[in-house]
Structure formats: C-alpha cells, structure tokens
Structure 1
Amino acid sequence: MKANIGIKQENISKVVDVLTKILADEFVLYTKTKRAHWNVEGPDFYNKHLFFEQQYDAIDEIVDTVAERIRSLGHYAPASLKDFLALTHLSEELKEKNDSNGFIKELLLDHESIIFYLRENINSIAGELQDAGTSDFITGLVENHEKMAWMLRAHLN
C-alpha cells in the first residue's frame, strides 16, 4: 500500500532512489568494517579488533534505520548483495594494507564519501522534493558518520 503522507508519489520515488543508494553504501561500509574487525593484524590487534566492532555495530543500526525509512515511505528496501553492489558509491576492494592503519585509512575515505553524498541531498530532499522528514533523517546520518570519521581519524598519525 502506498504511503499517504502529504508528499507526491513521484517525489517519494525520487527520495527512495537516494535512500536505496545510502542503504547500499551503509551495507558495503558495514561489510568492510566487519572485514577490518576479522582481519586486522599487528601489535595493536586487540584494541583495533574491539574498535572496529564498535564501529560495525553502529553502522548495523544505521543500515536498519535506513531500510525502515524506505519502508515507511511505502517502498521495499533492496536486500541482496547484488543490489547493494549495483547501487553503492563505494568500492569493496581493499587498497591499503591489512593492518590497522590500512583499514582505518580505507574506512575513513568511505565515511567521508558517504558524508558528501548525504550533504548533496539534504537540501534538495527538503526543498525540491518536500520531504523534511527524510532530510532531517539524513542530517542525523551525517552527524553519525562525522563522529565515526573523527574516531577513525584520531587513530592516524
């Protein structure tokens, strides 16, 4: 059943297009953070193992809230790896080393990429598409990613 929430269906579809890309980015970032948690090596293994776990737990919550936002707008959330890889702005390739600094640099770039994409869409979703709720929602996501990026950045020299 379509959501009757005071927003044109055409606008809802455009908002959902943005949200599905955000969901894909979040899921790929979750997976990459999980990979860092599982595969980090080095003298700081234990601390970084726990640090990456905290980060992927936070991203897991974001994934769920983005999917639920899509559902609240009356659409189905993509839920396959194939869909996520087709929609994401991120690369799942690891370009850095399998140590904490390598993973941190890679994940930091991904958080920053997501922040840029979210910022690009905040005003158009609120103004042009007249969905202040989703605009506010993704503003909150920006804040979450800024904090996680800060935590990653703080580990670098």
Structure 2
Amino acid sequence: MTTIDLNMDIGIDEDDRREIADGLSRLLADTYTLYLKTHNYHWNVTGPMFRTLHLMFEEQYVELALAVDQIAERIRALGAVAPGSYREFAALSSVVEDDDRPDATEMIRRLVKGQESVVRTARSVFAVAERVSDEPTADLLTQRMQIHEKTAWMLRSLLA
C-alpha cells in the first residue's frame, strides 16, 4: 500500500489519491520496463531492417524516458512516493522481460505486446481518476494511451 501525505488537501481524498497513486505506480513500472526493453532492442537489433529499427527504437525509448518522469512527478503531486528500483518495478510491471535474444521480427512483436500492456494499465487507472475529477491524471493517462496505441499500430504495421 502506497504511503500518502496526510496533510494534503487538493480536493481528492486520501483513499482515492492512494488508489490513483498505486495505479500510476504500476504504469510507471510498465513504462520503465518497456523503456529498458526498447533500449536493449535499439542496441542489439540486427538484420536487413537494422537502420530503420535502430532509429525507430531510439525514438521510442527517448519518448518513454520522458514519460517515466511525467508519471513519477504526478505520483509525487498526489502526495505519494514513486517507486524507483528494479525490484519495485519488477514486482509492479505487467510488461514481460526477456530471457533470450530475439531476432528483429520477434523484437517488434514483443514491443507491440509491451505497448499494449502499458495501454491496458493506463486504462485501468482512468476510471478512478475520472470518478474523483482528477483531471491532471486523466489527461496524463489519455496522452499515454494515445501514444502507446499509435506506437503499437506503427510497430504492428511492420509485421504486415
């Protein structure tokens, strides 16, 4: 259970802030895990699509690096402590880590799954943010869903 600053009064009660912060912590863990996976693929991709994928994966991991900061800062704005260790991220993330070295096509498939996992996590937090009129969180979640859905579509297009 997330520790919440009890002295805050931003119009969202403690239990709701905790529920939102817990959901955002899962989103942060998913985003960071996907960042790490994407960066790994950027370094290790090979084959005829090398240049295209190398550059595409770089664009994606840079965007994810910026996103983790936004998500963590929203958690802090809600009065909670953001997770920040591999151990915490591993316990919270729904993005599957690799235990092998996939080829380029499999990298794309796995990144599609990772992007979709992040969308599902963001969507799962949206209902409570909307219910308690937490517009900043709802806006962040909407942006994250749009970016991840678009990225999944672009990656999926490479598999067609």
Asked if Structure 1 and Structure 2 have the same fold, meaning a TM-score greater than 0.5 normalized by the shorter chain, the answer is yes
Q: Are residues 1:150 and 2:153 paired?
A: yes
Structure 2: which amino acid aligns with 1:141? R
- 1:6 CA drift (Å): 0.7
* Aligned partner of 1:102 among 85, 106, 113: 106
Q: Which amino acid aligns with 2:134?
A: D
Q: Which residue of 2 aligns with 1:120?
A: 124
When the two structures are superposed, what TM-score results if normalisation uses the length of structure 1? 0.91
Secondary structure of the residue that 1:98 maps to in structure 2?
coil
**What are the superposed Cα offsets for residues 13-66 of structure 1, whole Å, 9 maximum, x if unpaired?**
111000100000000000000111011111221221111101101111111100
For the residues of structure 2 that align with 1:53 and 1:72, how far apart are their CA atoms? 29
Conserved? CA contact 1:41–1:98, under 8 Å = no
> Which letter maps to 1:23?
L
Percent identity between matched residues is: 39
Number of residues of Structure 1 aligned to a counterpart in Structure 2: 155
* Conserved 8 A contact 2:43-2:54: yes
**Alpha-carbon distance, 1:121 to partner:** 2.5
**Aligned pair partner of 1:93 in 98, 112, 125:** 98
RMSD between aligned alpha carbons?
Answer: 1.6
Q: Residues 54-105 of structure 1: CA distance to partner in whole angstroms, max 9, x if unpaired?
A: 110111111110011111111111110010001111211257x632211010
Letter in 2 for 1:119: R
Q: Select which of 31, 34, 37 maps to 1:26.
A: 31
Return the letter of the residue paired with 2:50. Answer: F
Q: Where does structure 1 lack aligned partners over 5 or more consecutive residues?
A: none
What does the per-residue CA deviation read over 1:103-129, in whole Å, with 9 as the maximum and x for residues that have no partner? 0100001111221222232123211x4
Give the C-alpha shift of residue 4 in structure 1: 2.2
